[in-house]
């Protein structure tokens, strides 16, 4: 009876087992590739949002320490195909009275930033915003990452919001 039950060799696996494992890995990899693209876009959006928050706070702090009004505005000229308007190339803050560039933050390709109102944001010499509420929408133009929205109240405080509208 021992000749009917041949033990499996202890030195490895069979060819059909290896092929089955490779097929399973290929299927899993093919299904996860779109998710990896979205994760990269989501990471880039998160970094852009964090940079905007930092620059907003920095512009307010610079206005207070220098005693001069500041302006946060879109980088111009900005030419990105299929993206009219908005702050798609990035933003910069300048000293209001002299026009001196203080800081510039550029966006990587594949991101879109829409700001409402789409005009420069002015900050007085005491670091207070001179405009009312506003919203900043960060979107990926590639991949399927969830858009991120920042809302600014009349006091200049930024908050992250789920959804596509400030309340």
pLDDT band at 42, cuts 50/70/90? confident
- Position 33 scores a pLDDT of 46
- Position 162 scores a pLDDT of 79
Looking at domain 15-161, its CATH class is alpha beta
Return the sign of the alpha-carbon dihedral for residues 99, 101, 103, 106: positive
Percent of the chain with pLDDT over 70: 74
Q: Do 126 and 68 form a contact (C-beta atoms < 8 A)?
A: no
- Position 130 scores a pLDDT of 86
Give the contacts of 127 (CB within 8 A, at least 6 positions apart): 60, 61, 63, 64
**Terminal alpha carbon distance of the chain:** 79
pLDDT tens track for 53-91: 999 999 999 999 999 999 998 887 776 656 555 688 889
pLDDT tens track for 112-138: 888 888 888 899 999 888 877 888 888
**Is the preceding omega at residue 87 within 30 degrees of 0, hence cis?**
no
Which 3-state string (H, E, C) describes the chain? CCCCCCCCCCCCCCHHHHHHHHHHHHHHHHHHHHHHHHHHHHHHHHHHHHHHHHHHHHHHHHHHHHCCCEEEEECCCCCCCCCCCCCCCEEEEEECCCCCEEEEEECCCCEEEEEECCCCEEECCCCCECCCCEEEEEEECCCCCCCEEEEECCCCCEEEECCCCCC
Count of positions (residues) in the chain: 167
Higher per-residue confidence, 23 vs 70: 70
């Amino acid at each position: 009876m021992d000749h009917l039950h041949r033990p499996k060799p202890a030195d490895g696996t069979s060819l059909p087992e290896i092929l089955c494992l490779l097929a399973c890995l290929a299927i899993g990899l093919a299904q996860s590739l779109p998710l990896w693209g979205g994760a990269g876009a989501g990471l880039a959006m998160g970094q852009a949002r964090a940079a905007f928050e930092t620059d907003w706070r920095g512009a307010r702090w610079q206005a207070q320490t220098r005693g001069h009004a500041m302006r946060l505005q879109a980088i111009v000229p900005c030419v990105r195909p299929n993206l009219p308007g908005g702050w798609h190339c990035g933003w910069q803050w300048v000293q209001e009275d002299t026009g001196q560039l203080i800081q510039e933050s550029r966006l990587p390709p594949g991101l879109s930033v829409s700001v409402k109102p789409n005009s420069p944001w002015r900050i007085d010499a005491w670091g207070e915003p001179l405009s009312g509420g506003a919203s900043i929408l960060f979107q990926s133009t590639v991949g399927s990452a969830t858009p991120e929205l920042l809302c600014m109240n009349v006091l200049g405080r930024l908050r992250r919001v789920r959804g596509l509208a400030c309340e």
